[in-house]
Structure 1
Amino acid sequence: MTATDTTASTLLVAIDISKHRHEVLIGVPGKKRRRRMTIMNTLDDFQRLSAALVGYDLPVRVGFEATGNYHRPLAHHLGQAGFELKLVSSVGLARTREALHNSWDKNDPKDAQVILHMLEIGAIQFFHDPLVTGVADIQELSKTHEIVSRSKTELWHRILTHYLPLYFPEAERFHRSSRTDWFLAFLEKYPTPTMITTMSREAFVADAWQVVGRKVSKERLLSDIYATAVGSVGLPVHPDSDAVRMFRLVLAEGRSLVRQRNEIEVRAVELLSDLPDYQLLTTIPGIGPINALTILAEAGDLRRFRHHRQFLKFCGMDLATVQSGMFRGQSRISKYGNARLRRTFWMAGQVAVLKRTNSFRDKFERYIARDRHNAHLRRKAYTAIAAKMARTVHAVVKHGEPYRPFFEGASPGGRTFV
């Protein structure tokens, strides 16, 4: 994905991005002297830069390093003005800066010089504006879902490690899944055992019947909770105390996060259900609506990767080996790529190997056949399954065909890649 075409007749523009202002260095073909500009993060300065570049009456190629989301407004404005946009790798920028200046120090004007040098030698990558390519909504849904899910997990850990040990330690065994809301709703109504034991068992069952929702053997479950509350060692705090109010405040926040997560998931299905790529992805074992949403948000159009090895490298799942002289280290995945995609494929692979009649489970079983209880071997097997999941996703979308269990395409040279 590195561009190597000639830049002899192209105006090269290097921009070092920051939150409030951007350092611009312009290289004019045939001239050694470079023009410097400093523009603020305002529409007037964006238009001033565009007018200056148009004034050269030459093809323009703009290079910049992705810096958080601060580059997105400027990149969109320059893209709409018709300029060619290129990304510069953050790792490549740091290594090139050290090689050129023999120093580790960093400042914005120096970074602009290094970016311009990388534009000149063609060490650049493609930039795809999500707003132009039509994946902006998908990306925001995916990222917001991750934020809400992480907040929900952090809050649940706080409940498990702080509030439940204080007020109702024995209640943890009744929790089964973080996907459900009933347990938080139950604790919100009965945050301490004393609020349960003040009633008779029959009265408690009748009072909590609607709170726990639909359950198998609901009466037996509530009777078990009542018996547990009778023997609880939780602190005897007053129901109207500030401690209980704070506990309920946290529980209400948890229920709100559950509702937000569910709303995002429903909206994601509505948005993607008619998308052909989404329909193809959901035929693969282990990939449901949220995993498919993440893949489409992070990878964009998978057809731009001509070979699955390019996609594996984009995900950071390509093999890398440290070698020097007679020494050759063990090959490992590089992890220089999209971490969210790697995690998604890892999680999807763990689900796929639990399902029946698919090639993922078959490969996993063959991988661990030597020693099923070897943790290191199982971890390598899960890594191989995650890489296979990435290859399968690429193949399914690129060829436009749904997943077929136990169908393996021929590998070049007969090799089986990790």
Structure 2
Amino acid sequence: MTNAIVGIDLADRKQMVVVTDHDSKVLARRTFRVKAWDLGAALDWATERGARAGFTGVTVAAEPTGHRWRVLGQLADERGMALVCVQPAVCSWVRKTEDLTSDKTDDKDAVLIARLTAQLRCYLPEPVDETWARLRHFGTRREQLNGEHVACVQQVRDLLECVWPAALDAAEHPFKSTTWVAALTVVMDRDGGDLSRTRRLGPARFEHAVRREVTRRGKVRPCLRIVRRLFTALADPAGVIAHRPAAFERVAWVIDDWDHAKAKLADTQARMVTVLDELDLTALACSIDGLSAVGAAAILAETGDLNRFTSARAVVKHAGLAPRERKSGAFTGRAHVTGAGRPLLRAAAWRAVWGCLQTNRVYAARYRHLTGRETNRLTPTQAQTAVAAAILRQLHYVITHRQAWDPVVAAHGTKTLEVVAA
């Protein structure tokens, strides 16, 4: 109660600043037409106005949108001020409840931010730490490269389905096969849209060319079955022939982009594991059977230091994986996850499920129980969501308690996993 509250609505060149007491009475307001880095003068002005009203200090509040709140946080820290954040979604909901309209101005938003702070509907942001910051940026970079990787695969698939669909049938999972990609690269590099030109090489010379490409890609030898199937597909007439020259040229470009994306993705993931080693968390995180170092790093890149969460359930809520019930009187609706947290954290936890279900007996038993019980049976997707939430909860315990994952503890103290999963 000794601090005044400074609500700031951040923008590019116009910053609205209001100083209020704990009853949301505005003590002073002013518009500063400056960049975020020049808000130091605004904080000094707010401190002076708060002191006039009898407050010994100020608490700065803002919405954590874009990068400007980070700049504001550093300026506040240099002056010994506390910075708290108010969720933009909360501001949006409260703004509509005030007068049941979508009325919005910078002045009103700044006052609203201050009011929500006085009501303690705010939170302390993650402390600035160089190592954790690197992991967070690497995680964002990895997600971007994953998007590029998927986009390249979809482009190649779409183009081949149009001009040369037989190529996609040469392997069961073509885009996971180094041999198939190497053979396709050979065709694209020398063909120019005329498959008969490559076919004149003959099976032996084509196989030799594919072997060279497979070796260049870091593998020892190709799968001859796939090589022969793709060579046979050279004679298939299906496809829009007129589009082949241009489409093949584009496929060659996309394969080159795909190779670069995979190389950059591997480098980024290696850097993430290095940061995890610096934090001395690799052994702890990987003690969870089925959770790789990259998978754990991807999760921690989105959560930050798990010690800042008061409970494991808070991490699950942060990911938007907490269940949302619908009950009223005698009515009981279906429960759904909230989906209101960090989408990239939710995606990282979801991806970790696939590896854990293959090798982790506790999670596999829980999945079988959830999808096989007679009452309240879950769909496979719902059960995977429950396992994703369990991974987050147990990763929180492992890291905050500095204790390796124990399958008996994870199974609630019962050694018979099939019974415990219930």
TM-score, normalized by the shorter chain, greater than 0.5: yes
Contact 1:169 1:232 in 2 (8 A): no
Contact 1:280 1:400 in 2 (8 A): yes
Q: Paired residue for 1:257? A: 261
Counterpart selection for 1:226 from 217, 231, 239: 231
Contact 2:155 2:254 in 1 (8 A): no
Moved more, 301-310 or 382-391: 301-310
Q: Paired residue for 1:205? A: 207
Q: Paired residue for 1:39? A: 32
Code of the residue aligned with 2:41 in structure 1: it is R
Counterpart selection for 1:155 from 146, 152, 155: 152
Paired with 1:34 and 1:216, the residues of 2 have a C-alpha distance of: 76
- CA gap 1:196/1:365 in 2 versus in 1, 3 angstroms: same
Q: Paired residue for 1:18? A: 11
Contact 2:182 2:213 in 1 (8 A): yes
- CA gap 1:97/1:29 in 2 versus in 1, 3 angstroms: closer
Code of the residue aligned with 1:227 in structure 2: it is T
Moved more, 94-103 or 250-259: 94-103
Paired with 1:334 and 1:104, the residues of 2 have a C-alpha distance of: 24
1:60 aligned to 2:58?
A: yes
Alpha-carbon RMSD across the aligned residues, in angstroms, is 3.1
- CA gap 1:22/1:31 in 2 versus in 1, 3 angstroms: closer
Displacement of 1:248 in angstroms is 2.0
Counterpart selection for 2:165 from 148, 165, 169: 169
Contact 1:168 1:234 in 2 (8 A): yes
Paired with 1:27 and 1:417, the residues of 2 have a C-alpha distance of: 53
Post-superposition Cα deviations, 1:285-306, rounded to whole Å, max 9, x if no partner, equal: 3322332122211111212223
- CA gap 1:44/1:271 in 2 versus in 1, 3 angstroms: closer
Contact 1:170 1:228 in 2 (8 A): yes
Paired with 1:33 and 1:318, the residues of 2 have a C-alpha distance of: 38
Contact 1:188 1:252 in 2 (8 A): no
Counterpart selection for 2:184 from 183, 187, 190: 187
Counterpart selection for 2:20 from 4, 23, 27: 27
Code of the residue aligned with 1:73 in structure 2: it is V
- CA gap 1:26/1:222 in 2 versus in 1, 3 angstroms: same
Moved more, 255-264 or 332-341: 332-341
Q: Paired residue for 1:4? A: none
- The structure with the greater share of residues assigned to helix is 2
Query: Gaps (5+ residues) in structure 2?
Result: 414-419
Contact 1:14 1:113 in 2 (8 A): yes
Paired with 1:330 and 1:264, the residues of 2 have a C-alpha distance of: 40
Q: Paired residue for 2:416? A: none
The secondary structure found in structure 2 opposite 1:401 is coil
Paired with 1:16 and 1:377, the residues of 2 have a C-alpha distance of: 44
Paired with 1:375 and 1:252, the residues of 2 have a C-alpha distance of: 46
Post-superposition Cα deviations, 1:124-163, rounded to whole Å, max 9, x if no partner, equal: 111124x4464211111000110111122122112111x2
Moved more, 188-197 or 139-148: 188-197
- CA gap 1:278/1:19 in 2 versus in 1, 3 angstroms: farther
Displacement of 1:394 in angstroms is 1.1
The secondary structure found in structure 2 opposite 1:125 is coil
Code of the residue aligned with 2:173 in structure 1: it is R
Post-superposition Cα deviations, 1:61-106, rounded to whole Å, max 9, x if no partner, equal: 1111121334222233323332101111222212222222332222
Post-superposition Cα deviations, 1:297-352, rounded to whole Å, max 9, x if no partner, equal: 11112122232222222222223223334434333322222222222222222321
Q: Paired residue for 1:403? A: 405
Q: Paired residue for 1:303? A: 307
Q: Paired residue for 2:362? A: 359
**TM-score normalized by structure 2?**
0.84
Paired with 1:32 and 1:146, the residues of 2 have a C-alpha distance of: 44
Counterpart selection for 1:144 from 141, 150, 173: 141
- CA gap 1:233/1:106 in 2 versus in 1, 3 angstroms: same
Displacement of 1:265 in angstroms is 1.4
Displacement of 1:13 in angstroms is 0.6
Paired with 2:36 and 2:66, the residues of 1 have a C-alpha distance of: 19
Code of the residue aligned with 2:99 in structure 1: it is H
Contact 1:26 1:35 in 2 (8 A): yes
- CA gap 1:243/1:314 in 2 versus in 1, 3 angstroms: closer
Paired with 1:268 and 1:252, the residues of 2 have a C-alpha distance of: 24
Displacement of 1:376 in angstroms is 5.0
- CA gap 1:354/1:128 in 2 versus in 1, 3 angstroms: same
Displacement of 1:232 in angstroms is 4.8
Moved more, 21-30 or 199-208: 21-30
- CA gap 1:218/1:42 in 2 versus in 1, 3 angstroms: same
**TM-score normalized by structure 1?**
0.85
Paired with 1:196 and 1:100, the residues of 2 have a C-alpha distance of: 71
Displacement of 1:198 in angstroms is 2.6
Contact 2:132 2:301 in 1 (8 A): yes
The secondary structure found in structure 2 opposite 1:230 is coil
Paired with 1:85 and 1:290, the residues of 2 have a C-alpha distance of: 32
Q: Paired residue for 1:381? A: 383
Q: Paired residue for 1:5? A: none
The secondary structure found in structure 2 opposite 1:251 is helix
1:369 aligned to 2:372?
A: yes
Paired with 2:103 and 2:353, the residues of 1 have a C-alpha distance of: 42
Code of the residue aligned with 2:60 in structure 1: it is V
